[in-house]
Amino acid sequence: MSSLQGARCSLKTFSRYVLPSVAAMLLFSLYTVVDAIFIAKGAGETAMTSVNIALPFVNTLSGISILLSMGTATLVAFARGRGDEEEASGLFSQTVLVMAVISALITVSVAIFAEPLARQLGAGPSTIAGTTSYLRIISLFSICFIVSYCLEVMVKVDDKPHMAIVGVGASFLVNIVLDYTFVIVFGWGVPGAAWATGLAQVVSLSIFLYYFFSRRSHLKIKRFQARPKAFLRILPLGVADCSVELIIAFLTMMYNQILFHRFGEESMTVYAVIAYLNLFVFMIMQGVAQGMMHLVSLHLGKGETNSAAGYFRMCVGTSLLFSALFVLLCQVAPETIALLLLDPSSHLLPETVAALRQFSLSFPLVGINIAIAGYFTACEMPIPSISLSLGRGFVFAPIALVLCAFLGGGRLIWMAAFFGEAACLVVSLVVLWWTRRRRSQKELLVTE
């Protein structure tokens, strides 16, 4: 019975994993946000909108990495919990190789089909050139985006969470310097921002590779015995977290398409401001969930179910705290956010302020939904995790968006996120209650 209860969870331990994870995800998301700010100030609102239209491609790169990284991280954590470092390094190395191959295919494909992709993402006459240029340049660095994120996740599994901040932080600083140089000083506009972001990712990848080839790491990138069947476990475990990025990509594209055809190209600039803030909030929630997931997997591997449940509760509470701060900011000072990307004289400023106030109401619900899906992944329960995550982004949110855009008088479109997240949360809580009740019944039978 004591093995089922386990040790008490620690706020200090939770902070040790969550804070670096949140910081890394914040810096990771700020690559695109900083690009937008420099472009808006150096090249104008239309150029900034072009980068936002290309955002789903960047999200897709992150999604591919998360799909493979999070599932691998869970299996590696289980292996390390058992003391099997050889298996852990083998799984890690195999995933890195697969990512490198996928990255090469993406680079070649986008280099050839950049313009058709830009049109599919929602680029119109005034944004097609900028979006195409951004996509073509960013695709050259696909391997850096995909592999770098994987290594950032794995340093936490290797019990060095502070290294995530070192790698991503250095990359972020380089991105700022290069953005200023390329966009403001040289006046390269959208291409300059793309080169700055790509080269910054090279810095991040280099730092993480240096760590994993050093003596300090327990996990190693080395020759391995191929275990292709491992992906039958890795992929389902990664879907829930991957879906966060794919949801952002899908909904960004959907918003842009609906806004362009129903309200005109200018309305896409309003959404661009919202999209960058939304990305920022999503990454914080994802960072909190990722920090929690490693601890939950580790304690479940030791049979300490009470500790695992405690870390989940901490995750929910932390997500609500962060989201409440963002809601407060959007209600009290939305102009501050809008003016980061819009000119003070822009005629779109009043509409953007109103949209921010409405859209931000969805943030607390986002945090809880991501936390619940992450908890299921950490418990190696892919079916409820996948179902909730995919349902949230590809069922509830699109239905709410369409209803609000076409049946709600137009401006209600900015409340679509709230209605979609609320519907998903009801289902998430029901599934969580049902699965925990079943687990409690099984534990009771074991103790008897």
Every domain of the chain and the residues it spans: 2-447
Contact 16, 161 (CB under 8 A): yes
**d(C-alpha 194, C-alpha 51), whole Å:** 9
Q: What angle do CA 50, 351, 261 make, to 5 degrees?
A: 50
Cα–Cα nearest to 296, from 285, 312, 284: 312
Count CB neighbours of 264 within 10 A: 10
Cα–Cα nearest to 246, from 55, 33, 28, 116: 55
Contact 172, 199 (CB under 8 A): no
**d(C-alpha 333, C-alpha 282), whole Å:** 20
Does residue 44 come out as left (phi exceeding 0), alpha (psi in the -120 to 50 range) or beta?
left
**d(C-alpha 376, C-alpha 331), whole Å:** 33
Tens of pLDDT along 42-56? 888 889 999 889 989
Count CB neighbours of 97 within 10 A: 13
45-81 vs 363-378: helix axis angle to the nearest 10? 30
In the DSSP assignment, the letter for residue 229 is G
Q: What angle do CA 334, 359, 138 make, to 5 degrees?
A: 90
Give residues with Cβ within 8 angstroms of 140, minimum separation 6.
107, 111, 198
Indicate the range of 187-196, 199-208, 362-371, 382-391 predicted with least confidence.
382-391
Cα–Cα nearest to 23, from 202, 280, 330, 306: 280
Give residues with Cβ within 8 angstroms of 400, minimum separation 6.
416, 417, 419, 420, 423
Q: How far is CA 386 from the centre of its chain?
A: 16
HSE (side-chain half, CA atoms, 13 Å) at 362: 30
- Which residue in this structure is represented by tokens 């890394």? 24
**Once rounded to an integer, what is the mean pLDDT over residues 155-162?**
83
**d(C-alpha 263, C-alpha 257), whole Å:** 10
267-301 vs 363-378: helix axis angle to the nearest 10? 30
In the DSSP assignment, the letter for residue 159 is T
pLDDT for 444 beyond 70: no
**Once rounded to an integer, what is the mean pLDDT over residues 427-443?**
77
**Once rounded to an integer, what is the mean pLDDT over residues 7-34?**
78
State the pTM of this model: 0.77
Contact 365, 426 (CB under 8 A): no
Tens of pLDDT along 278-326? 888 988 998 899 889 888 888 887 777 788 888 999 999 999 999 999 9
- Which residue in this structure is represented by tokens 């069922």? 395
Confidence band (pLDDT; 50, 70, 90) for 4?
A: very low
Phi, psi of 379 (to 5 degrees): -85, 5
- The residue type at 351: E
Tens of pLDDT along 194-206? 999 999 999 999 9
Cα–Cα nearest to 378, from 6, 10, 9, 70: 70
